């Protein structure tokens, strides 16, 4: 079957845990779309880091991280593991 990449908003992971687990089980990649879908353009580095790290921490609780992709200011970036 086909695989896809899904970008998750961290604060929505818990309410959709079964769907996140299904993504993992089916071999899809999971990306980080920030914790609160915040607008990061012009945000300070601390805010950007918090939005990304909090989502990785929550996502790791729901499913093993299958990618290290993040989105910052509209650009996809490759992130090193943070935990």
pLDDT in tens, 46-61: 888 888 888 877 766 5
Confidence band for 76, pLDDT divided at 50, 70 and 90: low
Residue that the structure tokens 């943070």 belong to: 82
CA distance 64 to 45: 26
Give the bridge partners for 7, in sequence order. 31
Nearest to 24 by CA among 51, 57, 59, 52: 59
């Amino acid at each position: 079957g086909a695989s896809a990449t899904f970008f998750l908003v961290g604060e929505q992971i818990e309410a959709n845990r079964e769907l996140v687990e299904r993504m993992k089980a089916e071999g899809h990649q999971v990306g980080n779309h920030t914790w609160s879908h915040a607008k990061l353009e012009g945000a300070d580095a601390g805010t950007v880091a918090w939005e990304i790290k909090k989502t990785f921490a929550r996502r790791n609780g729901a499913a093993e991280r299958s990618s290290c992709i993040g989105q910052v200011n509209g650009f996809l970036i490759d992130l090193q593991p943070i935990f």
